[in-house]
């Protein structure tokens, strides 16, 4: 039984729902708890594998800040920003990640996360961002504004900084100081005015080599 939970927790959860009421409540709760935990682990590993697969194609490390993708640091960056910035919505988060990586590259010759960023209409977004925000350790809340939906980030309970270095935290702090109080449309405009964004064709990756022209120091 436990072997099946480990090998295919999704199937086991579906089968468990069918027999609810036909086994003891204690057994049902025990198996559902174990299967849910295994399903969450496998789901997170699937997300990690999918993101890493998309980055395997990057041969030009100028696009990733001359470091390999580090998803642990990405999750910690998101939590650190979420703990420091109130009402941190997805669009603003993506821009603050880009600024954080770029200011660190400007100062130290390498980025923090290894993320690659594309230039789209709302500014810079990291490759695989749709999956990144679903990773374990990222607290994402759905917020409704009338008929419109938005996503807000909160720090994960018990969050601790374990991998971010002092220079990386200083870079993030510089971005928080500069962008914390900007509205979404203001930070989007700010990125649109950056030379790195202007020099990059729409939907193409933004190279880190133009960080010397970054407006934030």
Question: How many domains is the chain partitioned into structurally?
Answer: 2
Determine the average pLDDT of the residues in 16-33: 62
Same domain, yes or no: 123 and 185:
yes
Q: How far is CA 19 from CA 16, 34, 35, in A?
A: 5, 16, 15
Where is the domain boundary, 25, 55, 85? 55
Q: Is residue 5 very low, low, confident or very high in pLDDT (cuts 50, 70, 90)?
A: very low
pLDDT over 80 (residue 151): yes
**pLDDT for res 34:** 65
Residue 143 has pLDDT above 50, yes or no: yes
> Which H or E run includes 125?
strand 123-126
Q: Within this chain, do residues 65 and 90 fall inside the same structural domain, yes or no?
A: yes
**Measured between alpha carbons, how far is 85 from 128 in angstroms, rounded to an integer?**
23
Q: Which domain holds residue 209?
A: 61-213
Query: Do 93 and 13 belong together in one domain?
Result: no
Whether residues 75 and 120 fall in one domain:
yes
Q: What is the pTM of this model?
A: 0.81
Is the domain of 74 the same as that of 161? yes
Residues 46 and 146 in one domain: no
What does the mean pLDDT of the chain come to? 86
> Does the structure show a pLDDT above 60 at 3?
no
Are 73 and 27 in a shared domain? Answer: no
């Amino acid at each position: 039984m436990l072997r099946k939970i480990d090998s295919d927790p999704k199937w086991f959860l579906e089968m468990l729902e069918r027999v609810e009421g036909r086994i003891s409540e204690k057994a049902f709760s025990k198996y559902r708890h174990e299967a849910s935990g295994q399903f969450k682990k496998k789901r997170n590993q699937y997300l990690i594998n999918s993101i890493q697969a998309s980055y395997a194609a990057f041969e030009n490390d100028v696009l990733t800040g001359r470091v390999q993708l580090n998803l642990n640091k990405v999750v910690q960056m998101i939590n650190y920003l979420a703990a420091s910035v109130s009402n941190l919505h997805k669009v603003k988060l993506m821009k603050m990640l880009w600024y954080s990586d770029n200011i660190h590259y400007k100062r130290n010759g390498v980025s923090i996360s290894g993320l690659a960023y594309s230039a789209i209409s709302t500014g810079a977004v990291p490759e695989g961002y749709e999956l990144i925000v679903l990773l374990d350790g990222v607290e994402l809340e759905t917020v409704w504004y009338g008929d419109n939906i938005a996503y807000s980030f909160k720090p994960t309970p018990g969050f601790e900084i374990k991998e971010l270095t002092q220079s990386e935290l200083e870079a993030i702090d510089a971005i928080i100081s500069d962008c914390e109080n900007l509205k979404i449309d203001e930070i989007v405009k700010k990125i649109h005015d950056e030379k790195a964004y202007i020099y990059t064709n729409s939907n193409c990756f933004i190279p880190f080599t133009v960080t010397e022209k970054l407006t934030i120091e």
